[in-house]
Amino acid sequence: MLKKLLLAALLAVPTYAIEVEGLIPIAGYQSRQDNLITCQDGSQIKVEFLTPDMPRIQMSYKKRLEPNPSWAIAKTDWAPTAVTTSEDTSKIQIASANLKVIVHKNPLLIEIQDKNGRTLSKDARPLLGDPNHTQKVFDPSAGFMTVVTKELGLDEHFYALGEKAHKLDRRRGHFRMFNSDTPKYSEGTDPIYQSIPFYISLEDNRAHGLFYDNSYRSHFDFGNSGQEYTGYGVEGGQIDYYFIDGPTIKDVVRKYTELTGRIYLPPKWALGHQASRWSYYPDRMVEKIADTYQSHDLPLDVMTLDIDYMQKYRVFTWDLKRFADPDGLSKRLKAKGLHVVNIVDPGVKYQPNQPSKDEEQPELKDQSKSYYVYNQGTQNDYFVKRKDGKQMVTTVWPGETVFVDFTKEAARKWWGDLHRAYLDHGTGGIWNDMNEPADFTEKGDTGANQRDSYFDDLGRNTPHAKNRNVFALLMCKATYEGLLRLRPNDRPYVITRAAYAGIQRYSTMWTGDAASSWEALAVSVPMFCNLGLSGETFIGSDVGGFMGRGDGEMLTRAYQISFLVPFCRNHKAQDEYDQEPWRFGSYYEGIIRKYLKLRYRLLPYIYAGLDEARTTGTPFIRPLVLEYQDDSNTYAMDDQFLAGRDLLCSPVVKPNLEKKRVYLPRGNWYDFYTGQLQSKQHQTVDAPLETVPLYARGGSVIPLGPEKNTVDALPNAPLELRVYPNAAQKAEGTLYEDDGKTQQYLHGQFARRKVTFASRTLTIEKTGYALPERNLNVRFYNTKNQSATVDGKAVPVKWTPNYIEVQFREGPQAHVVKLL
Ligand code: MIG
């Protein structure tokens, strides 16, 4: 009775500002068996430490906990963590060497403290549930929800959360996780394509992460509907979250990507400029466009084939009227240094008219009478079904369409192997579109038309609601694994639109159908930053925007961001005005060319950034807060970013501006173009259309390659090292080199070398890996020295006002350059 009163009182307390009326909290503690706690109402809580910094907390509402396998998790073989458990009348404490998880018994609240007893995270209320499936908290469209609330810090900031068309800091925002096709989205459209239910909290220079691993539709509320709480609500399944301790944001991202996996290196040419259009066809148009890029001296590595290369949108076929000789096309493009990427949609044309035929190269045969992909999928029961046991037929590009049940291992293998239809004709990469999965039957992408479908899901036959958000993840897994099976020594290159946590293990991404607008351009910057913090490093957007009419100025400003972004692809919708770099005249084209050429010069630096992301999880495109988390000027910085640790870009994201307010965090910064040391942290600088403000960090060594128009050109050209000393006259940088194509880098075939500058001496580590024969040009900025020796021998020195330069032939041994 007393307990009931207490609960009633708790529910009535008016200070709970979050809208949770009608939700019933779990009733307090009843019993414990090791780390499994059972409540009076049957709810259960399980606390496990994966590492001393990462407890996993699972909670069920008014029922027993079930095993909860996840597609997102990459690592399960953690070494055991030593844990001590203690209990008294008011609480249970489960502690590792670094963290304490305290389960307060009544009311039942979870608190996480560091080893010194500082609270890092604490529930604001017990777990809440909606027993009648009627309450609509946070969101009027929500169904049943289980809700976790945490206390919101007065100065707490929130980052990551994947792909959201939103500012950098998520504080006061509200977000849904439900993969959705949202053409022409702009800032505020939510949800869009991807669901990454992971966020980073930062307060008082202390960061932690929370990854809520549940693929049902979920809701994040960072103090939007109430002043003092953050809320997480999910419409099905159990609560299953990982607390990931910092103390730095970098630590959190490193640990999150240890848990969910890191990127792989794509072929290096994927870092090149990519040309795309919905759609370049027929084949001669593809070649004409490629030739125009080349005759205009515009760097380019990829020609993309959008949906019109197929026979009436049948995936894994070629329309031979438009592309009579796909092999010939890819060969001719390869001779120009270019690679082909084909789009692949998840929808398979529903074509139940004829029995299958066993054919060689069916992708090149007429499929109008009998479509091999539909036939094979049907025979093997690979397609998603509705409750009535029949194939779910929706409408997408092919008309009536069925989707593959990618939760089935055999279906994934089959799908992966189907990519032979491209690889056998010279295709270099696969672009997975429409994998939310988009469905034209629906207005507003509610999932309504697919609601009664179910998936095999490891034999459990679970509903669309559980599987929608992992559909793209599994499609990309199938694609990635298929490409590896088909070409075991080549690096897969996969691009996706939709995703769930863990996608970085299988695919790169782009941000879908952004509007061609200044607003969409501006929001792309915090989008890239937060995608990086969410584990995705190979990211980018359609340069210039996909829908709506652009102009030369906007396109130029877009390139002044994307020239630093790993995925750099100009793409445009079919019925929109053309937007290749030359379309608005030679003035704009000239500036775009300059920045594309600079991108190609920076490839050694960008590539080292991919290696860093692969090995540590640290993304290449970074918000300033990632490197300067004790600097409050960075917390809501939406219009600047870092490319790697050492380049700071302050793009212009509004029209008609010739100046930009720039913020440089502490330390030395150099104007990238002139090498001039900057003296002010806050300044307004000239930023005419010809120039995007760009700075190099004092303390860095930045490698630059030659100017060139394809990634693989000029392998023996000189490498330039730019040495930018910090206030202590020190600097360091990393070189990462490998063959750029094969999987041999996974077997030690690479050179990763430190370059360090201290006491006027630059040391370049030696390598056992065979480097190309080449010269090194080393530039020392901000130095008063006049002469130099290389490996003990005096060398000629070139003087300029802002730097001095020495040149020498690079060998496999270490090199030492001394300034005298
Ligand atoms: O319903 O394949 O986001 O990049 O050009 C549109 C045609 C389907 C959406 C993609 C876009 C692509 C387009 N696709």
Q: Which of 233, 213, 262 is nearest to 470 (CA)?
A: 213
CA of 343 to the centre of ligand 1 (A): 9
What amino acid occupies position 224?
Answer: N
Q: How far apart are CA 818 and CA 663, in angstroms?
A: 34
Q: How far apart (Å, rounded) are the C-alpha atoms in residues 26 and 24?
A: 7
Nearest CA to ligand 1 atom 13: 278
Which residues does a 6 A CB cutoff place in the pocket of ligand 1?
A: 278, 306-307, 343, 433-434, 497, 512-513, 571
Residue with tokens 């300034």: 819
Q: Tokens standing for 317?
A: 């076929």
How far from chain centre, in Å, is Cα 271? 15
Q: Calculate helix-pair angle for 603-616, 586-601, nearest 10 degrees.
A: 50
Does 513 qualify as catalytic in the annotation?
yes
Atom index in ligand 1 nearest the CA of residue 512 equals 3
pLDDT tens sequence across 3-62:
444 444 444 433 333 446 678 889 999 999 999 999 999 999 999 999 999 999 999 999
Specify the pLDDT at position 240. Answer: 98
Distances (CA, A) of 642 to 627, 658, 664: 9, 21, 11
Query: Coil, helix or strand for 103?
Result: strand
From the candidates 258, 433, 457, 720, give the one annotated as an active-site residue. Answer: 433
Ligand 1 centre to CA of 453 (Å) is 24
Q: How far is the CA of 196 from the centre of ligand 1 (A)?
A: 22
Asked if 741 and 756 touch (Cβ cutoff 8 Å), the reply is no
Q: Is 433 a catalytic residue?
A: yes
The C-alpha angle 529, 531, 534, rounded to 5 degrees, equals 115
| Contact by Cβ (8 Å): 566, 533 | no
Diameter of the chain measured on Cα atoms: 91
Per-10-residue mean pLDDT of the chain, 820 residues long, equals: 45 41 85 95 97 98 94 97 96 98 96 97 93 64 84 98 98 96 94 98 98 96 90 94 98 98 98 98 98 98 98 98 98 98 98 77 95 96 96 97 98 98 98 96 78 95 96 98 98 98 98 97 98 98 97 98 98 97 98 98 98 98 98 98 98 98 98 96 98 98 98 97 98 98 98 97 95 95 93 96 95 95
Q: Are 702 and 648 in contact (CB under 8 A)?
A: no
Q: Is the CB of residue 96 less than 8 Å from the CB of residue 55?
A: yes
Query: What tens digit of pLDDT does each residue of 296-353 get?
Result: 999 999 999 999 999 999 999 999 999 999 999 999 999 999 999 999 999 999 999 7
Distance CA 143, CA 237 (A): 13
Which residues on adjacent β-strands are paired with residue 36? 33, 46
Pocket mutation for ligand 1, best pick of 513, 572, 579 (most atoms within 8 Å of C-beta): 513
Check 187, 221, 456, 513 and give the catalytic one.
Answer: 513
- The one-letter amino acid at 675: G
Strand partners, 463: 454
Q: Which of 181, 192, 278, 569 to mutate to test the pocket of ligand 1 (most atoms within 8 A of CB)?
A: 278
Q: Name the residue among 749, 270, 338 with its Cα closest to residue 492.
A: 270
SS (H, E, C) 551-584: CHHHHHHHHHHHCCCCCEEECCCCCCCCCCCCCC
Ligand 1 center to 344 CA (angstroms) = 10
Nearest 5°: phi and psi at 41? -95, 10
CA of 653 to the centre of ligand 1 (A): 25
Cα distances (Å, whole numbers) of residue 180 to 80, 237, 435, 440, 756? 39, 20, 9, 12, 47
Alpha carbons 455 and 466: distance in angstroms, whole number: 9
| Unique residue bearing structure tokens 């060398």 | 795
pLDDT digits (tens, 9 = 90+) for 733-775: 999 999 999 999 999 999 999 999 999 999 999 999 999 999 9
Task: Report helix, strand or coil for 32.
Answer: strand
Give dist(CA 637, CA 541) in Å, integer: 20
**What is the Å distance from ligand 1's center to 278 Cα?**
7
pLDDT of 448 reads 84
List the beta bridge partners of residue 569: 274, 542
Report the distance separating Cα 225 and Cα 139, nearest Å: 10
640 close to 685: Cβ distance less than 8 angstroms: no
Cα 516 to averaged position of ligand 1 atoms, centre (Å): 15
Quick check: 494 and 482 in contact, CB under 8 A? no
Give 128's strand partners.
25, 147
Q: What is the pLDDT of residue 23?
A: 81
Question: Closest ligand 1 atom to the C-alpha of 396?
Answer: 1
- Hey, which of 343, 344, 440 would you mutate to test ligand 1's pocket, going by the most ligand atoms within 8 Å of its Cβ? 343
List Cα–Cα distances, 530 to 180, 378, 421, 638, 648, in angstroms: 19, 40, 36, 11, 16
Encode burial over 130-154: b for 16+ CB neighbours within 10 A, e otherwise.
beeeebebbbeebebbbbbbbbbbe
Residue 381 structure tokens: 């029961």
CA distance 671 to 693: 8
Residue 109 sits at φ, ψ, to 5 deg, of: -125, 145
**Whether 436 is catalytic:** yes
| Nearest residue by C-alpha to atom 12 in ligand 1 | 278
Instruction: Mark out the alpha helices in 307-437 (DSSP H runs).
Output: 326-335, 372-379, 409-418, 420-423
The CA distance from 158 to 372, in Å, is 48
Residue 440 Cα to ligand 1 middle (Å): 13
| Residue 247, preceding peptide bond in cis (omega within 30° of 0) | yes
Sequence letter at residue 805:
E
Which of 130, 258, 436, 439 is flagged as catalytic?
436
> Is the dihedral angle over the CA atoms 716, 718, 722, 723 positive or is it negative?
positive
What is the identity of the amino acid at 578? Answer: D
Exposure string of 166-204, with b = 16+ CB inside 10 Å and e = fewer, is: bbbbbbebbbbbbbbbbebbbbebbbbbbbbbbbbbbee
How high is the pLDDT of residue 472? Answer: 98
pLDDT value of position 226: 81
In ligand 1, which atom is closest to the CA atom of 438? 1
Is the CB of residue 176 less than 8 Å from the CB of residue 217?
yes
Test site for ligand 1: of 431, 434, 510, most ligand atoms within 8 A of the Cβ: 434
Which atom of ligand 1 is closest in space to residue 397's alpha carbon? 1
> Residue 786: which residues within 8 A CB-CB, separation 6 or more?
797, 799, 804, 820
The three-class DSSP label of residue 198 is strand
DSSP 301-338: -EEEE-GGGSBTTBTT---TTT-S-HHHHHHHHHHTT-
Rounded CA-CA distance 293/709 in Å is 10
